[in-house]
Structure 1
């Protein structure tokens, strides 16, 4: 148990002293950027899924 407590203490020390955190404005702009790309990527996947679904449906209609 002492090992876990020591690990957590050292982790917080690393985060506090050695990590260079972005400014609030930069963090907000990067969050918006990630959200926009996530939406675009999900729309692209939805489009490909829809096309493949139509192709598979058409294929199964041909073989019946």
Structure 2
């Protein structure tokens, strides 16, 4: 198989055989990822703050 036929078949497959998601589905997925990332960052931040305070309390004992 040469390069020319590979490129032609690849373009044909991308146009006719691949199912592309709709724009609204992509928007909803992007919002979902953004919200999940923010929640995850907040949870990690609270855990980090709690651990920092615990370590300060522990080191202040000595």
Taking structure 1 as the reference length, the TM-score comes to: 0.71
Partner of residue 45, structure 1: 44
Q: How far, CA to CA, are the matches of 1:39 and 1:21 in structure 2?
A: 27
Report runs of 4+ in structure 1 exceeding 3 Å deviation.
none
Q: Which runs of 5+ in 1 are unaligned?
A: 1-5
> What is the aligned-residue RMSD (CA, Å)?
2.2
Larger radius of gyration: 2
Taking structure 2 as the reference length, the TM-score comes to: 0.73
Q: Which runs of 5+ in 2 are unaligned?
A: none
Partner of residue 32, structure 2: 33
Deviation for aligned residue 1:16: 1.5
Q: How far, CA to CA, are the matches of 1:38 and 1:24 in structure 2?
A: 21
Deviation for aligned residue 1:21: 1.8
Say how many residue pairs are matched.
54
Q: How far, CA to CA, are the matches of 1:19 and 1:53 in structure 2?
A: 49
Deviation for aligned residue 1:58: 0.5
